[in-house]
Structure 1
Amino acid sequence: MTTEFEQIREQQKNTWNTFSPGWRKWDDFTMDWLKPLGEEIISSLKLQPTDTVLDVAGGTGEPGLSIANIVRDGKVVITDLAEGMLQVARDNAAMKGITNYETIVCDACNLPFEDETFDAVSCRLGFMYFPDMLMAAQEMVRVLKPGGRIATAVWGVPAKNFWVTASMGTINRIMQLPAPPPGAPGIFRCGNPGFIASLFEQAGLKNIAETEVTGKLPCGDNDTYWTFTNDVVAPAVAALSKADEETKVRIKKEVFNAVDEKYPDRMAALDYSAVIIYCQK
């Protein structure tokens, strides 16, 4: 891995460890919101009770812990770059009485497993942040048994994800933030239809298909949305940390106005769109 990729990896690791307390705070809310993505991943994997499954970039434990309830005579290995996130996953597993799992801190581009170890691989909302996405896909293929299945979810295009563009669009406009370098890790890096499918094809996978999952981020009111954004959405927090108080007040006001204009019911249930891609080795 190049020095540039190593720097990206360390930046991602530090970011997710820093934000793990926010994810713990919002875990019930966030996991309920993201549940449809996990359900689509699980459905496409066609799991058997004895399967051994790898959940890459598993964060606070999903969909890995839900998979563990299905493969009761098997096992789930949940990996993530951030130990802070995996601690939340372990706490969640303890609360739910789940024991057929383990957590491992590792880089998706360098998985510490033997070839052909796993019956299936899941990865929900991870690919957008991997330094080398093709290398990560190749690693997943390497550790997957012949005939095994991979399923991943990535955020779709910005126009369908007002849950984040409502805040980030306003922040970018008011603060005139520079555009990130082409291909840099970010929420919408993999959103275009066919992007991950092409990556999987390069990695040697077959029977590739994709489907869209849409829904709402159910905040209930603008204040909840603003607090959630400031606790969980790392790019927004990073940008706002550089703004003076007057600018922050203006951004908040304009975000609220944008949400109210799009959703006159004042429930702040903001649209999202994700793409689920599944395939076979």
Structure 2
Amino acid sequence: MHPVVNTEQAQAWNGYEGDHWADHHDRWNAVNGGFDEPLFTAAAIGPRDHVLDIGCGAGRTTRLAARQAAGGRALGIDLSAPMLDRARTEAAGEGLANAAFVQGDAQVHPFAPAAFDVAVSRFATMFFGDPVAAFANIRGALRPGGRLAFVCMGDPGRNDWLRVLTALGEHLPVPPPPTPGDPGMFSLAEPGRVREVLAGAGYADIGATAVEAPMHWGRDAADAARFLLGSGPAHHLLAGADRATARRAEDTLTAALRPHAGPAGVRLRGAALVVTAVAP
């Protein structure tokens, strides 16, 4: 693997978090897939484009990009070895010879200069250790006039999954709700902050549009609760809990999810920003 500066994220995504996402990649795609259409509409990938997928995870978005750029290519980069193993397996299974993957830190990875027409990302750019440096490095990988399009978490107050998780505060030390700009998942949730970062990284024609989509968390409330409790943040909260406390937390979360269950399963509103910019 090439040099890494975002060591905290590298540790997380090469540990439990990365294994969980790799093992449950189909479920995570069901959670986040509602944002694929606005992302790829914004990216406007052409049939011969060379596409860079930043924080590609298990490769769903890289495979979508490779299909749109059938006469070009798509390269996915991620910190996570277990997710990249899954990404390569899935791409090979779909016969996508124009999709490739590399393990690396997008902030410092030595991309070939001006090698890509488009850079995309689905819910990964929020975790950059130094976002200005990372986006500047990605800009160097884009040809002049190349496009950047990504989806990042939006207004925390409009993400219903976050509100549902607060029910766990009855039993577990749940941190206070995040505010836009806080480090981590909501670091780019405020459009003004996004514009500041991208302008600082040398981009032009910056846009940030709020979008919402349903996120599918499970077939019923109990299934969704188990899945949520197995994901990284909740898993860490449960690490210090005894069995009885963990059971009460699961029961409470199941009850909180029940109003959101329907014939199509448990769906919670997700709020994001679709961000676009151009490399001058």
- Which TM-score tier does this pair reach, normalised by the shorter chain? 0.7 to 0.9
Identical aligned pairs, as a percentage?
A: 26
Instruction: Give the match for residue 160 of structure 2.
Output: 162
Change (3 A) 1:198 1:93: same
Secondary structure, counterpart of 1:63 in structure 2 = helix
Instruction: Give the match for residue 223 of structure 1.
Output: 222
**Residue pairs, 1:44-55, within 5 angstroms:** 44-55=42-53
Q: When the two structures are superposed, what TM-score results if normalisation uses the length of structure 1?
A: 0.87
Change (3 A) 1:82 1:76: same
Deviates more, 1:32-41 or 1:264-273: 264-273
Instruction: Give the match for residue 172 of structure 2.
Output: 175
Q: Whole-Å Cα distance in 2 between the matches of residues 202 and 173 of structure 1?
A: 42
Superposed CA RMSD in Å reads 2.4
Contact persistence 2:220–2:261 (CA under 8 A): no
Secondary structure, counterpart of 2:191 in structure 1 = coil
Given candidates 95, 108, 111, the residue that maps to 2:93 is: 95
Instruction: Give the match for residue 16 of structure 1.
Output: 13
Contact persistence 2:56–2:77 (CA under 8 A): yes
Where do 5+ consecutive residues of structure 1 fail to align? none
Instruction: Give the match for residue 237 of structure 1.
Output: 235
Q: Whole-Å Cα distance in 2 between the matches of residues 98 and 191 of structure 1?
A: 33
Q: 2:163 corresponds to which letter in structure 1?
A: T
Contact persistence 1:197–1:277 (CA under 8 A): no
Number of residue pairs aligned between Structure 1 and Structure 2: 272
Instruction: Give the match for residue 112 of structure 1.
Output: 110
Q: Whole-Å Cα distance in 1 between the matches of residues 27 and 243 of structure 2?
A: 29
Instruction: Give the match for residue 41 of structure 1.
Output: 39
Q: When the two structures are superposed, what TM-score results if normalisation uses the length of structure 2?
A: 0.88
Deviations 1:63-106 (A, max 9, x none): 11111011112111110011111111101101111011211111
Q: Whole-Å Cα distance in 1 between the matches of residues 169 and 140 of structure 2?
A: 40
Change (3 A) 1:142 1:29: same
Change (3 A) 1:264 1:117: closer
**Residue pairs, 1:1-281, within 5 angstroms:** 6=5, 9-18=6-15, 19-167=17-165, 169-172=166-169, 174-177=171-174, 185-218=183-216, 219-231=218-230, 233-260=231-258, 262-263=259-260, 267-281=265-279
Deviates more, 1:238-247 or 1:21-30: 21-30
Where do 5+ consecutive residues of structure 2 fail to align? none
Secondary structure, counterpart of 2:240 in structure 1 = coil
Deviation at 1:189?
2.3
Q: 1:66 corresponds to which letter in structure 2?
A: L
Deviates more, 1:148-157 or 1:222-231: 222-231
Deviates more, 1:17-26 or 1:60-69: 17-26
Deviation at 1:145?
0.7
Deviation at 1:179?
5.8
Contact persistence 1:38–1:62 (CA under 8 A): no
Secondary structure, counterpart of 1:77 in structure 2 = strand
Secondary structure, counterpart of 1:41 in structure 2 = helix
Deviation at 1:117?
1.5
Contact persistence 2:221–2:266 (CA under 8 A): yes
Deviation at 1:107?
0.5
